[in-house]
Structure formats: C-alpha cells, structure tokens
Amino acid sequence: MAILIINKTTNFELETSTTTTTITTTTITYTKANSSQIIVPITSSGDSIVGLYNTSAGQPTGAYNGRYSNSAENPPKAIDGLLNTKYLNFGVRGTSGAVLNGPGVNTGFFVTPTISTASVAVALLFATANDFPNRDPLTVTLEGTNATDVEALHLGSSWTLIYSGPTGIDPATDPGRNTYMQQQDFSNAIAFRSYRLLVTSQRGDDSSVQYAEAQILGYF
C-alpha cells in the first residue's frame, strides 16, 4: 500500500484565436507504507513511446502506430501528466464508426523512460478519459526489459512479465470521467530500462479503448 502526497497543483491557460483552454497539472509522489522508498512516476512527457495493437504479453509486436483518433489522442498523451488529454486506440479492427467487442484488447504501448537507466516498477496509476465509459481499460499486463533499441523492443523474447491485473477502474460502475483511480500496487524487485503495457479487457462494446493517464510508478 502507498500513501499519496499531492505536492502542488498548477492551473494555466492556453489561448488560440478562438478558444481558451485551462490545463491542470499536478505533481505527485508516493511513499510506500512502512518503507523509506519514495515511489514516483517512472514515465513522463517526452519519453520515447510507441503505440501498439494486435500485441499480447510474451509475443512480438503485431502492429504499431497508426490506429489512433488523431494526433491529439496519440500514445504520448498516456504519460503526459494531464487529465484533459487522452490516448485513444482503435485496435486491429477498429474504425471511428465500428462498434466492436473489446476493440482495445491487445493495444497499448512500449516506453523507454528518460528519468533513469534503471527503474523498479511497483505500481500503475490510471485515469479515465473524458467520455464513453465503455472504452475504459479494466485489466492490463505490464512487462519490462533492459533493451532500448526499437528493433529489440518489438521482439516478444525481450520482455519479462511484471504484472497482470486490474487498472483500478470499476468494471460495474462508471467511476467518473477525467478521474484518477486507486493506485494498483504489485511486487517487483527487478530493475528494467523499458516497459510494455497492454490492455487485456475493457468495459464494453465500442469503437476503441481510451485513457487519460497510464503512469508506471516505481523507484530508482
């Protein structure tokens, strides 16, 4: 279990010729109960990230990059620390007009954090997107590797399974939009340089899967 400490919340506005958008950012750290270890987000905006689909844990990449709503909802939005952005993936069969059974299953991303060359992941922190609850991811896998080369990251043999379980999003009741879920802790003591997160189930039939944040948490 971890204790959540919100350090600072900052609101600022982005103005265009026609609209003004308020963006909220929050700095968060986590302290493990009965431990001096500080648990922080391993992933962050600017990390090298590749969106995936038709891919499952232990297997090579089935396909990557290109099944998104638009450039405003691409993989980097999953780790940018902003609740009012999102990562949306249509999956292997999805299109903007097709309603399917779990089109987001076997989608996700791999990422190489820049904050450290060796991190120990021990938790996930998800946040729901702004609309369409049926697109919520309910369960995921998380894998780690010490590879950083993109070609190696596409190989199934590179990856070691760290976690398989819930995202913290309630499968029965909509927990609210643009909302952080309860942190999902797991046991791991192995340091890795890159991570792969894949959706294994979503709430219901829709055209895609989406989430505002999918932060990987750990220590160095």
**What is the tens place of the pLDDT at every residue in 77-108?**
999 999 999 999 998 665 667 888 999 999 99
What is the torsion angle, in degrees rounded to the nearest 10, for the CA atoms of residue 74, residue 84, residue 167 and residue 205? -70
Q: What is the pLDDT of residue 10?
A: 38
pLDDT in the model for residue 7 = 41
The per-residue DSSP string of 121-183 comes to EEEEEEE--SS-GGG-EEEEEEEEES--SHHHHT-GGG-EEEEEEE-S--SSS---SS-B---
pLDDT higher than threshold 50 for residue 126: yes
Q: How far apart are CA 184 and CA 186, in angstroms?
A: 7
Nearest to 122 by CA among 204, 213, 40: 40
d(Cα 2, Cα 71) in Å, to the nearest integer? 34
* Confidence (pLDDT) at 100: 87
pLDDT the model gives residue 16: 36
User: Which CATH entry fits the domain spanning 37-219: 3.90.1150.10, 2.30.130.10, 2.60.120.260, 3.30.450.20?
Assistant: 2.60.120.260
In the predicted model, what is the mean pLDDT of the chain? Answer: 86
Sequence-distant (6+) residues with CB within 8 A of 106 are 52, 53, 54, 55, 56, 62, 91, 92, 198, 199, 200
Q: What is the pLDDT of residue 41?
A: 97
- Give residue 150's pLDDT: 95
Query: How does pLDDT run across 134-193, given as a tens digit for each residue?
Result: 999 999 999 999 999 999 999 999 999 999 999 999 999 999 999 999 999 999 999 999
What region, left, alpha or beta, does residue 185 occupy, with left being phi > 0 and alpha being psi -120 to 50 degrees? beta
Predicted local confidence at residue 69, as pLDDT:
64
pLDDT value, residue 164: 98
pTM of the model: 0.84
Distance between CA 135 and CA 148 in Å, rounded? 30
The predicted pLDDT at position 192 comes to 98
> What does the pLDDT read at residue 49?
96
